[in-house]
Amino acid sequence: MAILNTNWLTEKYIDFEYKKYILLAFLQDVDKDFEVQKLYPSLRELVTHYRQLVSLKEKKEEMFKNFPQSAEGIDAENMRIIYQNMIEDTEIMKQLESIVDFSIPRFQKYLSEGRKIYEAIESQLNIFPVGVVPLHAKEGYIFIRDGKNADTTVYEYDIALFEEPEAKYRGIHTQFVKTREMDMGVSYQYIKLELLKEKQEMPNPATYAIESNWLVPLEETLLPIAKRFLLKYVEKNAA
């Protein structure tokens, strides 16, 4: 599992070689996860740290751009005044800048690779409703199954609206219910009827089956992709 400390850039020693070692060790773990198609938490870690690095670089550049300057001479040939920044990089800042410049393209490389794996898996998923779908499909059940598995994993899902200062967005939460073995007498509709008996407070839940033709890790890959796949499907069909 590839995990990188939130404060990896500034904790302990701010030294280029040391931070390079920390980063490359993390990316090596990411590489191992991607080789066996385990996308999470590696892909989420990559996104988080990449955004932090880009934000740090932009803020530093903005700070230097807006900091007061002093005139130090005149360029007579081009008829302009030469200015000098009144703030200089310290050795630590130079080390940080070197680390950031080294790290960003490497995060970009692995983000690109992770997204390709994600999109390839998502492209071969099939989704369809089980039974009649109610008008409001913000909660219900997901049946997840890969093409080589005789079991169906059942999750309860709930779609909620989140608000932040910049935007509103929808998120989906899932909770494991059970794993149901499939046989000649068990269909998705049969499992839904079982759930109706077991949880009567949901008399008409929206229920969807998501099938994968590929065998990929459930918790680390298939479930996270299936959740977002369902969210897009529900939003599209609600429009």
Reported confidence tier of residue 81, pLDDT bands at 50, 70, 90: very low
pLDDT for the residue numbered 149: 76
pLDDT tens profile 20-77: 999 999 999 999 999 999 999 999 999 999 998 998 888 776 555 544 444 444 443 4
Please say whether the beta carbons of 143 and 154 come within 8 A.
yes
The per-residue pLDDT for 230 is: 95
Convert the pLDDT of each residue in 203-227 to its tens digit. Answer: 889 999 999 999 999 999 999 999 9
pLDDT of residue 59: 76
Q: What is the pLDDT of residue 61?
A: 64
In 3D space, the residue among 46, 18, 49, 17 whose CA is nearest the CA of residue 33 turns out to be 46
pLDDT at 143: 97
pLDDT value at residue 232: 92
Please give the pLDDT value at position 239.
Answer: 56
- Which pLDDT score is estimated for 15? 86
Structure tokens at 131: 């039974």
Rounded Cα–Cα distance for residues 208 and 134 (Å)? 12
Q: What is the pTM of this model?
A: 0.81
Question: What pLDDT shows up at residue 77?
Answer: 47
Mean pLDDT, residues 94-103: 87
In terms of DSSP bridges, do strands 151-163 and 168-181 run parallel, antiparallel, or are they unpaired?
antiparallel
Closest CA to 161 of 134, 139, 129: 139
Instruction: Give the Cα separation of 34 and 114 in Å (integer).
Output: 7
Task: Summarize pLDDT for 130-189 with one digit per residue, the tens.
Answer: 998 888 888 999 999 987 777 999 999 999 876 555 656 688 999 999 999 888 888 999
Task: Provide mean pLDDT across the span 3-30.
Answer: 89
Say what the pLDDT of residue 75 is: 45
pLDDT digits 0-9 by tens, 182-209: 888 889 999 999 999 988 888 889 999 9
Mean pLDDT, all residues of the chain: 84
* SS3 of residue 169 by DSSP: strand
